[in-house]
RNA sequence: GGGGUGGUAGCUCAAUUGGUUAGAGUUCCGGCUUGUCACGCCGGUGGUUGCGGGUUCGAGUCCCGUCCGCCUCGCCA
């Protein structure tokens, strides 16, 4: 090792040769009272300057590590130095050397370095900065428009908050590599230029110059390659990789995102869940000092029935109950019509949420708002009633009164409660109430924000019936295996067949998902057939996988942890762009580099193409 | 593709029913200031009101189109 460099520990004393620049001896957050009296040097950016007039000037110098006050004082430094320092402005990049000393004035308890200051004797200005469009202060940043922050990302990222987030991200990826390496996983890279697949999200595509008229696709995940690595005998694989899906972004979703991707051989569902649960434990322990305890499990059906969503937020105490059977005989048209509906083989239903104390807590304005709110999920509205000692009151009370005893028993109603009811197709009502449950929980402050509630959701259906395409579609992906006891349903009742998939949910957010895969070619072919993939299509698209399955595929399964979402939880943000160094906007643009952009005509010709834009239909 | 919301000084925002020269804080520039720390005080610079068109005696404000940011439905195996 060259002197000054460490194999595994941070070192800042890099002096293999006599320095030609004013090089730091400490980072800006390091100096402490114990260092007082030493001559030290700092490198960094001018965070603020405070000119006190005549010969006294304070400069706060900032680097990745923190802030330190530098004082330029005529009594201790030359007039030339003080003059030079007076010209310093925000975000200039400098080096300063001098004696670290106890502050003459009051200590600043807001700074880790607040008891000391650097009495400057030498100053080197590495680079003057233009007047910055934004300042890298956390207290300003929350107010600054994101558009400006993204355009000047190199300034935004200087903020302590952003430095903290990206360093936390780095800690998590290091932790992942350490944890999985210790458990026998090998990191293997898989290709970025692959072939477009028919299932799943829209692919990003790349023209193939050497095969004119042909296209690569960028991977939505390394799914097939990691399965092939199992066939290839790697047994335990991990990769921290980029995945790309050409779909519209959201607050918690980017077209380009990262996942901690792994796959294991000779395992069953519980083995993968245990391995990944251990990683979640390690992350929450090491990053937040929190013990997540034993992770609960819940079937998909129970999650949908009780919470109306496949990733329930267990911090929210409200639950959904089906009351279709109770009100089936109702003359209330809304209930009647719902019960008569059918879609995807399911009858319509009537479902309710009991809101404890809702009679007082839910105002008319709020419940009116809830009816508006659920319309975005394509249902008509919310039926509301209060429950008192005398029975149902207001709203749809008269339609509920005939079924009072049964409803009280089913919903465990107490006087003073309210009931919120949605009647519609099963999927519509479930979705609407699932979302409404979350909204009411937030509105009434029922969610303890400081809590972490982890949950494995298991026993997903293998297939969803696609009404438009009139066919089965894989709920997870078409390489997911049925549960071992479900194989017989694959042919007889595919709609009832449960898969060996599993999702890890924390506080209502899916942070990891995976499954045991199909390792037998005959089963894989059966699934392809069920989702309407002809043998020819399957061979053309996935022939290599079918071939691999014929040549000795071990039982295997895996999971992928969404790195971006994981970070969102760890640092407490609801904006995925905050945890990505260079994120894209909702229209897929990068405001800093101004992408996407045009390319030279020659580049297009090289691919044997010409571009004709279709007119927008109006 | 649909719905919502926003775009005014470098930054964050204001501007009454369509009515004078579009204001404020902050940044920046100049001056003052020897213990500040989001320093303070005084003064000053700074505007194609996203862009294009229209209505009007008169448009930041109303209308049409368009671009961009954010939230959301669809979509995201």
> From CA A523, how far away is CA A521, in angstroms rounded?
5
> From CA A112, how far away is CA A109, in angstroms rounded?
7
Q: Check pLDDT > 90 for residue A550.
A: yes
Of the candidates A107, A86, A85, the residue with the CA atom closest to the CA atom of residue A97: A85
Q: Check pLDDT > 60 for residue A617.
A: no
Span between the terminal Cα atoms of chain A, in Å: 67
Nucleotide nearest to A479 (CA to C1'): B77
For A120-133, what is the mean pLDDT? 94
* A374-399 tens-digit pLDDT: 988 989 899 999 999 999 999 899 99
Q: A337 Cβ partners below 8 Å, 6+ apart? A: A348, A423
* pLDDT recorded at residue A5: 67
* pLDDT recorded at residue A18: 65
* pLDDT recorded at residue A344: 73
CA of A285 to C1' of B6 (A): 41
Nucleotide nearest to A91 (CA to C1'): B27
CA A273 to chain centre: 19
For A98-108, what is the mean pLDDT? 94
* pLDDT recorded at residue A13: 56
Question: Which bases of strand B sit closer than 7 A to a protein CB?
Answer: 1-2, 10-13, 27-29, 32-40, 68-77
* pLDDT recorded at residue A317: 96
* pLDDT recorded at residue A197: 83
For A476-485, what is the mean pLDDT? 94
Q: Check pLDDT > 70 for residue A2.
A: no
* pLDDT recorded at residue A140: 72
Rg of chain A taking only CA atoms, in angstroms: 31
Q: Check pLDDT > 60 for residue A1.
A: no
The number of helix segments (H) and strand segments (E) in chain A equals 20, 24
Quick count: other Cβ atoms within 10 Å of Cβ A567? 23
Is A143's CB less than 7 Å from nucleic acid strand B? Answer: yes
Contact A48, A91 (CB under 8 A): no
Is A134's CB less than 7 Å from nucleic acid strand B? Answer: yes
- Please give residues of chain A from 235 to 274 whose alpha-adjacent beta carbon (CB) lies under 7 Å from any atom of strand B: 245, 247-253
* Mean of all residue pLDDT scores within chain A: 93
Q: Check pLDDT > 90 for residue A470.
A: no
Q: Check pLDDT > 80 for residue A199.
A: no
Sign of the torsion formed by the C-alpha atoms of A453, A454, A459 and A460: positive
Q: ipTM of the assembly? A: 0.93
Q: Check pLDDT > 60 for residue A15.
A: no
CA of A143 to C1' of B6 (A): 14
For A10-18, what is the mean pLDDT? 57
Instruction: Please report the beta strands in A38-115, taking only residues with DSSP state E, as ranges in sequence order.
Output: 39-51, 56-63, 66-73, 93-102
pLDDT band at residue A7 under the 50/70/90 scheme: low
pLDDT band at residue A618 under the 50/70/90 scheme: very low
A20 versus A1: which is more confidently predicted? A20
Q: Are strands A66-73 and A116-127 parallel, antiparallel or unpaired?
A: parallel
pLDDT band at residue A16 under the 50/70/90 scheme: low
pLDDT band at residue A229 under the 50/70/90 scheme: very high
């Amino acid at each position: 090792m060259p002197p000054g460099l460490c194999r595994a520990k941070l070192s800042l004393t890099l002096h293999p040769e006599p320095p030609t620049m004013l090089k730091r001896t400490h980072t800006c957050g390091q100096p402490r009272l114990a260092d007082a009296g030493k001559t030290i040097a700092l490198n960094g950016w001018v965070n603020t300057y405070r000119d006190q007039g005549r010969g006294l000037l304070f400069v706060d110098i900032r680097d990745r590590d923190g802030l330190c006050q530098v004082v330029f004082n005529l009594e201790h430094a030359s007039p030339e130095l003080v003059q030079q320092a007076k010209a310093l402005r925000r975000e200039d990049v400098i080096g300063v050397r001098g004696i670290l000393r106890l502050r003459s004035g009051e200590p600043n308890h807001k700074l880790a370095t607040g008891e000391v200051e650097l009495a400057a004797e030498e100053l080197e200005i590495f680079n003057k900065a233009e007047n910055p469009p934004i300042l890298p202060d956390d207290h300003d940043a929350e107010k600054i428009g994101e558009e400006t922050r993204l355009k000047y990302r190199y300034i935004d990222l200087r903020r302590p908050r952003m430095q903290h987030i990206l360093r936390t991200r780095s800690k998590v990826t290091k932790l992942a590599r350490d944890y999985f390496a210790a458990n026998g996983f090998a990191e293997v890279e898989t290709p970025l230029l692959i072939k477009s697949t028919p299932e799943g999200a829209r692919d990003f595509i790349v023209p193939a110059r050497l095969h004119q008229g042909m296209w690569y696709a960028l991977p939505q995940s390394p799914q097939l390659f990691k399965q092939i690595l199992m066939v290839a005998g790697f047994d335990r694989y991990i990769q921290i990789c980029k995945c790309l899906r050409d779909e519209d972004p959201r607050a918690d979703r980017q077209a380009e995102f990262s996942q901690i991707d792994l796959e294991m051989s000779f395992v069953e569902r519980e083995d993968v869940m245990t391995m990944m649960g251990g990683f979640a434990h390690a992350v929450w322990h090491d990053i937040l000092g929190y013990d997540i305890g034993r992770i609960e499990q819940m079937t998909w059906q129970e999650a949908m029935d009780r919470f109306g969503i496949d990733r329930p937020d267990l911090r929210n105490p409200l639950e959904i109950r089906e009351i279709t059977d109770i009100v089936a005989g109702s003359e209330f048209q809304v209930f009647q019509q719902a019960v008569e509906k059918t879609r995807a083989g399911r009858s319509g239903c009537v479902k309710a949420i009991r809101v404890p104390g809702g009679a007082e807590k839910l105002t008319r304005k709020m419940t009116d708002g809830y009816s508006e709110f659920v319309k975005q999920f394509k249902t008509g509205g919310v039926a509301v009633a209060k429950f008192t000692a005398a029975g149902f009151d207001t709203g749809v009370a008269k339609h509920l009164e005939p079924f009072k005893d049964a409803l009280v028993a089913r919903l465990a109603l107490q006087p003073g409660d309210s009931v919120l009811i949605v009647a519609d197709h099963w999927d519509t009502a479930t979705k609407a109430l699932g979302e409404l449950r979350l909204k009411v929980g937030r509105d009434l402050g029922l969610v303890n924000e400081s809590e972490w509630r982890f949950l494995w959701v298991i026993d997903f259906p293998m297939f969803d019936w696609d009404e438009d395409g009139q066919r089965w579609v894989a709920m997870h992906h078409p390489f997911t295996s049925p549960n071992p006891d479900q194989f017989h349903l694959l042919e007889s009742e595919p709609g009832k067949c449960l898969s060996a998939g599993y999702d890890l949910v924390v506080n209502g957010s899916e942070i990891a998902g995976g499954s045991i895969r199909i390792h037998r070619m005959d089963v894989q072919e059966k699934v392809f057939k069920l989702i309407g993939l002809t043998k020819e299509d399957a061979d053309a698209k996935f022939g290599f996988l079918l071939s691999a399955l014929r040549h000795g595929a071990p039982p295997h399964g895996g999971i992928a942890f969404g790195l971006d979402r994981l970070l969102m939880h760890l640092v407490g943000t609801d904006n995925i762009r905050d945890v990505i160094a260079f994120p894209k906007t909702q229209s897929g643009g990068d405001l800093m580099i101004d992408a996407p952009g045009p390319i030279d005509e020659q580049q297009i010709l090289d691919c044997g193409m010409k571009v004709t834009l279709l007119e927008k239909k109006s």
